[in-house]
Structure 1
Amino acid sequence: MARLLTPPRILIALAGAASLVAGGIAVSQIEQGDRGVAPIDSTSSYEIGGVTVDVSGKDADTARAGGWREAQRKGWRMLYARVHGVPFAAAPRLPDSTLDSIVAGIVVEDEQISARRYIGRLGVLFDRGRAGALLGVGGQVRRSAPMLTIPVMWSGGAPQSFELRTQWQQAWARFRTGGSPIDYVRPVGTGADPLLLNVAQSRRPGRAWWRMLLDQYGASDVLVPEVSIKRSFPGGPVVATFTARHGPDGTVIDRFVLRTETSASIPRLLDEGVRRIDVAYADALRTGGLYPDSMLVEEPAIEDALDTAAAETAASDAADTAGTSFSLEIDTPDAAALTATEQTIRSIPGVRSFSTSSLAIGGLSIGRVLFQGDAAALSIALGARGIRAEETGNNSFRLRRTTRDAAPAAAAPPAAEPGPTP
């Protein structure tokens, strides 16, 4: 297990088997018992892992301090490159005094110390508020809608999710989600979790039961990361096949294979699998492949079974007078953007009503508009007001604001007429 150590001028907790709180960072570790793994709270920090250093010094302590300094420098450039999507070489450098003020901790993943040399693979934790100001993101990044995460592990030919504590669940609990654009909802695995979020539920396509579960856990969609472990012999090589699934239908986002030579390295192997699956989900979010299913956030219309013919006639007449209902997926980085988009939509001629059914600040909000016209007319009307509408099928649109309507300039007060000359 990774150790959380103290960098220069910053005091943080050592990672052990207990939960500690230091510098506002709550670190939750594995609970006692056969079930349940409390996830690490990383909402107040960014994490960069896998920073390799090789530093020499006059003694072991000097070499270690130099290694941590080098990890801070490299970690900052890696964080900047990941947030802004630029190469590592293009990331700016910061002085050590500034890095000391924004680094919240050093996580030792692996280290080798000799009399005058320090070799290690480290992780660096950056304070979200202080580092966000230097990154130019205000401490926040664009995130997805809340995603209920059900890790499934196949071992020995049998699958498990939350029925028993697994190494795959522990790996997801160790993963720090603060720097990820995916808003993971990670259940602990205690109470009713083993009954509600089992392997059978992860393969059930029915939307009705999923809607109940998502409302129960405060999520808008579901992610099912899977791993299949195959051992050559006890203690020998291990081959793991990772699959990133999305939605009730289990759509495969990515699949890859990792290998380790000894069973003792399985935790590190699973940590790398979690990291790569997170990258796959983040890429899918950027390319538009991780949108919530509209049937998961809205109840289908129910017809009156007592008089089907009358209901169909009334619905047809209402459609002619009121218009057609369209589902809208709206980028809402903040509350002001959602308010501006709502005002723009309501100002379109032919819009009868508009409501927000799912609010996700920093992600995708789901809205419903009643428009007297067809899809092409609505798309043209939105484009004329600086909103690009991409049709996703089944009367659904993905909205992106291309231009921001400039606020009308305040009218200058009329000049006072000169009075009579005395």
Structure 2
Amino acid sequence: MIERRFPGLRMAGPGPFGAAVLALALLLWARPAAAAGFPSAYVVADVPVDATAQSAVQAREAARLDGERRAFRQLLERLTQKGDWQRLPQPSDDTIVNLIQDFEVKDEHSSSVRYLASYTYRFSPNGVRKLLHEAHLTVTELASKPVVIVPLLRTGDTARLWDDPNPWRAAWGAANGRSGLVPWVLPTGDLADMSVLDAPAAGKPAPEQLQALAQHYGGGDVVVATAAPGGDGLEVTVARYSPDGSADPVTVQVPGAKADTALYAAGVVAAEKALEDKWKQLTFGGGEQESILSVTVPITSAADWGAVRERLSKIPFVRGEQVDLFGHSEVHIRLRVRGSADLLKIGFAQQDLVFTPGQPTATLALKTPVSAAQPASAAPVSAGQ
């Protein structure tokens, strides 16, 4: 996706320093970029399969085919607008298999006639893009920066957050937060978390509480996911808070006769879908037209430039880049991009890049320069990560 070209590259800075800068620039471009993480938008996690047949082998094959079909349909619906779902392609089973890059299996159980398991699939981004492009469908694949999930359980007048038992929190802990358009992390509920936020405050958290949780887990926004069981199922409300404390809550109903593990798991799926739907509303409409964006990148070290390059490689609407000027304090580049200025700003922000439109050049800066970043302490990771 990234074009490593530098015809016409100009060197800023005189004498030996300029020569050293140019040599470093060429070295950085000659080296392979750091391997970008697999796009979470193309991961479909925790697909349950259950099939019965005349033999265990036949049951497993039937379950596998069913899982692949459902996972692929889920992926296509995730990447497209609801109004286009009737026009989604329906490829053969062989085509779907060829689009699966790899998969993971867990919780396998089988008998002589039955097979149960949970599958996580990683689909080929290029292959899926091509299929949807040929169907003339608009696609969104820009993933949000991971959000921090705060599972709040309300039963009657009681609210539970970090204390046990909390089956709602347990359901999030059993799920996979690394996939989808809105990946998430789950706090461990340690003493530090308890000191930042308690159950009463979770209903309307203060900006400083949100910032503390986000910084602790290296995520983006904080999402308070509230579940309230009732006689007809589970009422789930997800509120994604921006750093200033504003939110636009969404409430969904999850039907069920009993507040058991299965109902809470279904509530997690419903909450994830609500988050993705809101994110799609924000990131759709960028258009397919490509344009050239002239950008100035302030840097304080070669490490800054390396970090910018790596982050650009993870943004799907950046289709190519070319360096025009490499200086000791800034780099001038041209980006080949797709999308509106608003979409660009949102996308860059997911990689902690601050985008400021401007004429004739825009500015793209690291939110925190590498040299100024403090050594990251290992954040605790929950069982759901």
Q: If the length of structure 1 is used for normalisation, what is the TM-score?
A: 0.50
The amino acid of 1:225's aligned partner reads A
Percentage of matched positions with identical amino acids: 11
Q: Distance in 1 between matches of 2:42 and 2:355?
A: 35
**Mapping for residues 224-239 of structure 1, pairs under 5 Å:** 224-230=224-230, 239=233
Question: Residue in 2 aligned with 1:333?
Answer: 315
Post-superposition shift, 1:132? Answer: 4.0
Q: Distance in 1 between matches of 2:152 and 2:118?
A: 26
Q: Contact 1:75–1:124 (CA<8 Å) still a contact in 2?
A: no
User: Does residue 260 in structure 1 map to residue 256 in structure 2?
Assistant: yes
Q: Contact 1:103–1:124 (CA<8 Å) still a contact in 2?
A: no
SS at match of 1:243: strand
Structure 1 residues 197, 165: CA separation in 2 closer, same or farther (over 3 Å shift)? Answer: farther
The amino acid of 1:245's aligned partner reads A
Q: Contact 2:235–2:252 (CA<8 Å) still a contact in 1?
A: yes
Among residues 33, 42, 47, which one is paired with 2:44 in the alignment? 47
- 1:370-405 deviation line (CA, Å, top 9, x unaligned): x9xxxxxx6xx58xx899xxxxxxxxxxxxxxxxxx
Question: Residue in 2 aligned with 1:65?
Answer: 60
Q: Contact 1:167–1:267 (CA<8 Å) still a contact in 2?
A: yes
Structure 1 residues 246, 289: CA separation in 2 closer, same or farther (over 3 Å shift)? Answer: farther
Question: Residue in 2 aligned with 1:287?
Answer: 281
SS at match of 1:281: helix
Q: If the length of structure 2 is used for normalisation, what is the TM-score?
A: 0.54
User: Does residue 135 in structure 1 map to residue 128 in structure 2?
Assistant: yes
Q: Contact 2:232–2:255 (CA<8 Å) still a contact in 1?
A: yes
- 1:159-182 deviation line (CA, Å, top 9, x unaligned): 111133511111111222233111
Higher alpha-carbon deviation: 180-189 or 248-257:
248-257
The amino acid of 1:157's aligned partner reads D
Post-superposition shift, 1:74? Answer: 1.3
Q: Distance in 1 between matches of 2:180 and 2:255?
A: 25
The amino acid of 2:164's aligned partner reads L
Post-superposition shift, 1:64? Answer: 1.4
SS at match of 1:173: helix
Post-superposition shift, 1:223? Answer: 0.7
CA RMSD of aligned residues (A): 4.8
Count of residue pairs brought into register by the alignment:
267
Structure 1 residues 196, 174: CA separation in 2 closer, same or farther (over 3 Å shift)? Answer: same
Question: Residue in 2 aligned with 1:367?
Answer: 354
Q: Contact 1:105–1:126 (CA<8 Å) still a contact in 2?
A: yes
**Mapping for residues 167-182 of structure 1, pairs under 5 Å:** 167-182=167-182
Structure with more helix by fraction = 2
Task: Give the gaps of 5 or more residues in structure 2.
Answer: 1-38, 131-139, 285-311, 324-330, 335-344, 364-385
SS at match of 1:288: helix
Larger Cα Rg: Structure 1 or Structure 2? Answer: 1
User: Does residue 245 in structure 1 map to residue 239 in structure 2?
Assistant: yes
Post-superposition shift, 1:152? Answer: 0.5
Post-superposition shift, 1:107? Answer: 5.2
Post-superposition shift, 1:277? Answer: 1.2
Q: Contact 2:214–2:220 (CA<8 Å) still a contact in 1?
A: yes
SS at match of 1:135: helix
Q: Contact 1:163–1:194 (CA<8 Å) still a contact in 2?
A: no
Q: Distance in 1 between matches of 2:208 and 2:96?
A: 55
User: Greater relative contact order: 1 or 2 (C-alpha under 8 angstroms, separation 6 or more)?
Assistant: 2
SS at match of 2:224: strand
SS at match of 1:180: coil
Post-superposition shift, 1:240? Answer: 1.8
**Mapping for residues 72-83 of structure 1, pairs under 5 Å:** 72-83=67-78
SS at match of 2:262: helix
SS at match of 1:95: helix
Post-superposition shift, 1:288? Answer: 2.0
Question: Residue in 1 aligned with 2:103?
Answer: 104
Task: Give the gaps of 5 or more residues in structure 1.
Answer: 1-41, 231-236, 291-329, 346-357, 372-377, 388-422
Q: Distance in 1 between matches of 2:317 and 2:283?
A: 24
Question: Residue in 2 aligned with 1:222?
Answer: 222
Q: Contact 1:148–1:185 (CA<8 Å) still a contact in 2?
A: yes
Structure 1 residues 344, 245: CA separation in 2 closer, same or farther (over 3 Å shift)? Answer: same
User: Does residue 272 in structure 1 map to residue 273 in structure 2?
Assistant: no
Question: Residue in 2 aligned with 1:35?
Answer: none
